[in-house]
Structure 1
Amino acid sequence: MNISVMIDSIPALLGGAGLTLQLVGLAVVIGFVIAVLVALARLSRSPLLWLPAYGFVFFFRGTPLLVQIFLIYYGLSQFSAVRDSALWVILREPFWCALIAFSLNTAAYSAEIVRGAIQAVPRGQIEAAMAIGMSRLTRLRRIVMPQAVRIGLPAYGNEVILLIKASSLASTVTLLDLTGVARTISSVNYMPVELLSMAALIYLAMTFVVTRAFKVIEYLLSGDRRQPPTAVPLPDQPVPDQSLPPDHPLPVASGKTK
C-alpha cells in the first residue's frame, strides 16, 4: 500500500467530503420535517391522511435507495412534461436529484421512528393534559413532542449514520462526493485500495463525530433523569464513651414541683 498516494489524495477527498456533508445535512433537515408530518398523518384516524402516509412509508422503505435515485435522476427525464416544466432546472442536476431521493428515503424511516416515539409517551400524561383543558396542539407541543424527542433520539441517530454511509450511492449519478472523488482518482492512478481506504477513514471520522454529537445531545436532554451524585462516606471514627462512672452522682432536675 502506497502511503504517499493516500496522503496526497487527502485535499481532494476532503473536498468530496464537504459535498457529502452538505448533501446529508440538507437531507436530514428536509427529511425530518417531512417525517414529522408523515408520522402525524399516520397517527390520524382519517383515512384521507393515514392511507397516503402509509403508502409513502411502504414505498420508500420497501424499495432500494439506489433504485429511487435512478428513478428520480433517469426516470423523470423520460417524460417530456417534466423536461418542459420549470422543475427541469432542478431535476436535471445530479445534486438535487440525489438530495430529493435521500430526503424522501430518510423521511420514510424517520417517520416510523417519530411515530413509535410519540406512541411511547405515557398515556396518563396525555389524559392529564386533556383533563386540564389543553388543546391538541398544545398537548403535542408541550407534552408529547419533548418526550418523544428524548425517546426517539437514539434510533434517529442511527438513521443519520446510515444516511451518511448511504450517501456514497450519490456517486452513481456522476456526483463527485467523497466516494465519487475516490473513484475518479483511482481510475487515473489505478490505486483503488489506497483511495478507497482513505475514503473509508474519512467516513469513519464523520460517523464518529456524529455519534459523539448525539451522545452529548442525549446527555443534555436527560438532565431530569440523571441521579444526583452520591455522598462519599466518611471513614469510621471512634464514638466517645458518654457513660457515667459508677460513683458519679445522678443529675437532679431543677425547678419547683407543685
Structure 2
Amino acid sequence: MNWSLMIESIPALLYGALVTVHLLALTLVFGAMLALPLGIAAARGRAPIRLPVMGYITFFRGTPLLVQVFLVYYGLSQFPAVRASFLWPVLREAWFCALLTLALHTAAYTANILRGAILAIPDGQREAALASGMRPYLIYRLVILPQALRIGLPAYGNEMISMMKATSLASTITIMELTGTANTIVARTYAPYEVFISAALIYLCIAFGLARFARAAEARLSRHMRPAVEAKEKFRSAPAHA
C-alpha cells in the first residue's frame, strides 16, 4: 500500500469531490422541481395527463442511466433542429448534458416516490378539506404535500445517495468529478488500488452526510408526533399494578 501516493492524491480528489457535490446539488434541486408536478399528475391527474407522465417515469426507471447519458450527450447533436436552436450553446457542453440527464432521471424516481406517498394518504382528508371549502391548491399545500413529504422522505434519502453514486457516470463524457479525477490519477501513476480506495472513502463521507441530512429532515417533519410516541413508550414501560 503506497500511503504517500494516497496522501498526495487527496487534494485533487477533494477538488473532484467538490465538482461531484455541485453536480449532485443542482441535480437534486432541478429534479425535485420537476418531480413535484409530475408526482401530483401521476397520482391524481386525469388519464390524458397521467398516462404520458407514467410513460416518462417508466422510461427513465426502466433504462440504464449510462444509456440515457449517451442519448443526451451524443444523440441530441444528431438533430439539425437542435444544433440550430438557441439551446445548442448549452446542450453541446458536457456539464449541462450530464446535469440534464441526471435531473430527468432523478425526477422520474422522485415523482414515483411522491406518487406513492400521495396515494398513501386517506381520501377522507381530501374530501373533508373540499367539504370545508378549501381550494385544490390549498389542499395540496396544507394537507396533502406535508404528509406526503414525511411519508416519502426515507425513500428519497436513498434516492439522494443513489444519485450521488450515479454522478460518477458523468466521467464517461469528460467531466472531471471525483471518479473522473481518480481515473486521471490512475492513468498517470498506475496505482488503481490506492487511488480508488481514497475515492471510495470520500464517496462514503458524502453518503454519510446525505444520510444524516435525510434523518434530520425526517425528525423535523415528524416532531409533532414525538410527544405521542414518548407517551406511548412511557405507558409501556410503566410497571403493572396487581
1:162-181 equivalence runs, <5 A = 162-181=162-181
1:211 is matched with which residue? Answer: 211
Distance 1:183 1:116 in 2: 39
In the alignment, structure 1 residue 183 sits paired with structure 2 residue 172: no
Deviations 1:64-84 (A, max 9, x none): 000000010011112222222
Q: In structure 2, what is the equivalent of residue 84 of structure 1?
A: 84
- Counterpart amino acid of residue 107 in structure 2: A
Match of 1:65 in 2: 65
State how far apart, in whole Å, the 2-side matches of 1:79 and 1:130 are: 48
1:125-176 Cα deviation digits (max 9, x unpaired) = 2222122111111111110001111000000000000000111000000100
**Structure 2 length-normalised TM:** 0.92
| Alignment-derived partner of residue 160 in structure 1 | 160
Looking at structure 1, the residues matched to 2 and 75 of structure 2 have their Cα atoms a distance apart, in angstroms, of 41
Tell me the equivalent position of 2:222. Answer: 222
Letter in 2 for 1:104: L
Deviations 1:171-220 (CA, angstroms, capped at 9, x unpaired): 00010000000000110111111111100000000000110111111111
SS in 2 for 1:121: coil
RMSD of the alignment, in Å?
A: 1.7
Distance 1:90 1:83 in 2: 10
Alpha-carbon distance, 1:112 to partner: 0.5
Structure 2: distance between partners of 1:137 and 1:118: 14
Q: Where does the alignment leave 5 or more consecutive residues of structure 2 unmatched?
A: none
Kept after mapping to 1: 8 A contact 2:19/2:178: yes
Moved more, 118-127 or 8-17: 118-127
Q: Secondary structure at the match of 1:209?
A: helix
The Cα shift of 1:45 comes to 4.4
- Counterpart Cα distance in 2 of 1:62 and 1:228: 42
Equivalence map 1:1-258=2 (5 Å) = 1-226=1-226, 227-228=229-230, 230=234
Which whole-Å CA distance do the structure 2 matches of 1:9 and 1:26 have between them? Answer: 26
Shift, 1:43, TM fit: 2.5
Provide the TM-score with structure 1 as the length reference.
0.87
Q: Which amino acid aligns with 2:22?
A: Q
CA distance in 1, matches of 2:16, 2:157: 23
Name the amino acid aligned to 2:127: E
CA contact (8 A) 2:41 2:50 kept: yes
Between the aligned partners of 1:191 and 1:45, the Cα distance in structure 2 is: 54
Aligned residues: 234
Percent identical: 51
Larger radius of gyration, structure 1 or 2? 1
What code does the residue aligned with 2:85 have?
A: S
The structure showing larger relative contact order (alpha-carbon pairs under 8 Å, at least 6 residues apart) is: 2
Q: Decide which moves more: 182-191 or 39-48.
A: 39-48
Amino acid across the alignment from 1:115: R
Q: Which has the higher helix share?
A: 2
Q: Quick one: distance in 1 between partners of 2:110 and 2:46?
A: 21
The separation in 2 between residues aligned to 1:167 and 1:196, in whole angstroms, is 16
The one-letter code of the counterpart of 2:69 is I
In the alignment, residue 17 of structure 2 is paired with which amino acid? Answer: A
Q: Is the 8 A contact 2:43 2:118 kept in 1?
A: no
Could you tell me how far apart the structure 1 residues matched to 2:143 and 2:178 are? 41
